[in-house]
Amino acid sequence: MASRLQKRMTLRRKLHILRTLTNSKSVRKSSIIMDAFIHIYKLQLKLEAIKRQYLYLINHIQEVKVEKIGGEFLVRVRCKKGQNLLVSILDTFEEMGLNVLQAKVSCTCLLSIEAIVEAQDQGICVRDIEDAVHKAMGEQVGVEDK
């Protein structure tokens, strides 16, 4: 008799917890459970939407910033990780006659490069470097898509 009463009390306690978690106004056990299922389903939909948004942002981030500091250039690149992307960007620097004085590279979710480069030719401007890096990144994206 006592065990049956304990089971009933624990069931009521758990149903009360479910009711408060799901903001259910129902009193019947079946309605509370149904509201909990609906709540879980809505949370799953929200999670899927957040995952889709995250993947979209990761795939479409492509940022190149170049600043001229004295006779040197500060190049900042953030983009989606790609195969040989760092090598492609460094090859572009070499083709343009830029010497890399210092570089920081991070590759967690995104590829992040911060480099200080020095031009051998004084005729290179910020826009030339930006265009060349964008072109190198675009070529790598084209290679990955194939």
- Domains: count for the chain: 2
Task: Looking at the structure, tell me whether residues 37 and 95 fall in a common domain.
Answer: no
pLDDT, tens digit (0-9, with 9 covering 90-100), for 84-138: 888 999 999 999 899 999 999 998 878 899 999 998 878 888 999 999 998 888 8
Q: Decide: 104 and 71 in contact? Cβ < 8 Å.
A: no
Give 53's pLDDT tier (boundaries 50, 70, 90): very high
Q: How far apart are CA 24 and CA 32, in angstroms?
A: 6
Neighbour tally for 140: CB within 10 Å: 20
Task: Looking at the structure, tell me whether residues 141 and 120 fall in a common domain.
Answer: yes
Domain end call among 58, 80, 104: 58
Residue 25: per-residue pLDDT: 85
For the question of whether the overall pTM of this predicted structure is more than 0.75, the answer is no
Q: How far apart are CA 80 and CA 108, in angstroms?
A: 10
| 109: DSSP letter | S
Task: Looking at the structure, tell me whether residues 44 and 67 fall in a common domain.
Answer: no
| HSE-CB for 113 with a 13 A CA cutoff | 27
| pLDDT value at 141 more than 80 | no
Q: Decide: 81 and 107 in contact? Cβ < 8 Å.
A: yes
Residue with tokens 């995250």: 54
Task: Looking at the structure, tell me whether residues 6 and 38 fall in a common domain.
Answer: yes
pLDDT, tens digit (0-9, with 9 covering 90-100), for 15-45: 899 888 888 888 888 888 899 999 999 999 9
